[in-house]
Amino acid sequence: METYEVTENGQVYTVTEGAFGHITKELKMSDEQKAILAAQAAQAAQVSDPLAEIKTRLDKIDADLAVIKLNTKK
Amino acid sequence: MAGTFNPGAIAKSIVNYYSSGGVQYAGSAGIAALAKLILSGALTAGAYSAALVSVSGPGVLNLAYAYANDATSRTMGLKVVLDGTTVFDAVSDACTTQYNGVIAVGYNESNAILAYQPLVFNSTMALYVKSSLSETDKITLAYAYETR
């Protein structure tokens, strides 16, 4: 597999020639662009936690149980 | 033909919610685990970029979608070309929400998971994006493919 870069119209592409004859060409991301994408990933990981709703409900149940226990002791 | 992946007919067109101007949540990087993400680079208003991604050789395109990186009002275009045939070329309605955009290939599930929609190609695949604005890196292209 061979990988190299080409510049076309001011944009840099990464070209990979695979062992099975495939040639792929993708716009190369700079370190700054990678940082933008990484920030998106971090943000999305926070907002898309599939357990977030369940965690919130468990917290509320815990709080309710604490109140019930407190009232029971009285 | 030896060396050619040929499981059946090649897609000639993709019709879905987004193919006639729809725009809605198309993904944040919550679905990045499934997709490779690249920014659009410099775009000229109304004009498709040069192919941001292209493959020469047989393979399968599993995901292709584009979304806005900020809330600036714009329309976005996404074009998918398989074996020289433009199978998807759609422009969204005005998008004013970050992470909203256009899905050409794949299915959005629960706003967090994007399911693969495998589309085979025998010789070439290319993906293009455009914006109604002249701007740089304000649109993310997300995709997943495999070569065979």
Question: Residue B131: how many CB atoms within 10 A of its CB?
Answer: 27
Q: Which residues of B touch A15 (CB under 8 A)?
A: none
Among candidates B32, B54, B56 on the partner chain, residue whose Cβ is nearest the Cβ of A44: B32
Report pLDDT digits (tens) over B57-81. 999 999 999 999 999 999 999 999 9
Q: Which residues of A touch B32 (CB under 8 A)?
A: 37, 40-41, 44
The structural architecture, per CATH, of the domain B17-147 is Sandwich (2.60)
Among candidates B51, B111, B147 on the partner chain, residue whose Cβ is nearest the Cβ of A18: B147
Report pLDDT digits (tens) over A35-66. 998 888 777 666 556 667 788 888 889 989 99
φ, ψ (nearest 5 deg) of residue A65: -60, -40
Question: Lowest-confidence range among A18-32, B32-46, B64-78, B103-117?
Answer: B103-117
Q: Which residues of B touch A52 (CB under 8 A)?
A: none
A11 touches chain B (CB under 8 A): yes
The residue among A17, A12, A7, A4 whose CA lies nearest residue A32 is A12
- The predicted model scores a pTM of 0.80
B109 touches chain A (CB under 8 A): no
B34 touches chain A (CB under 8 A): no
Confidence of residue A19 (pLDDT cuts 50, 70, 90): confident
Question: Residue B97: how many CB atoms within 10 A of its CB?
Answer: 15
What are the residue ranges of helices labelled H in A1-74?
31-47, 52-73
| Separation in Å, CA of A45 to nearest CA in chain B | 5
Question: Lowest-confidence range among A4-18, A41-55, B3-17, B91-105?
Answer: A41-55
Backbone conformation region of residue B41, classed left if phi is above 0, alpha if psi is from -120 to 50, else beta: left
Contacts (Cβ under 8 Å, ≥6 apart) of B28: A40, A43, A44, A47, A48, B67, B98, B99
Higher pLDDT, B107 or B12: B12
Q: How many Å apart are CA A47 and CA B13, to the nearest integer?
A: 34
Residue of A12, A33, A34 for testing the chain B interface, max B β-carbons within 10 Å: A33
The answer to whether the beta carbons of residues B39 and B137 sit under 8 Å apart is: yes
The residue among B122, B103, B23 whose CA lies nearest residue B63 is B103
> CA nearest A24 in B: which residue?
B55
Mean pLDDT of chain B: 86
| Local structure of B97: helix, strand or coil | coil
| Separation in Å, CA of B139 to nearest CA in chain A | 11
For the CA atoms of B64, B68, B74, B76, the dihedral, rounded to the nearest 10 degrees, stands at: -10
> CA nearest A44 in B: which residue?
B30
Q: Which residues of A touch B135 (CB under 8 A)?
A: none
Can you give the residue ranges of every domain in chain B?
A: 17-147
Q: Read off the DSSP letter of residue B69.
A: S
Q: How many Å apart are CA B145 and CA B148, to the nearest integer?
A: 10
Contact between B29 and A45 using a beta-carbon 8 Å cutoff? yes
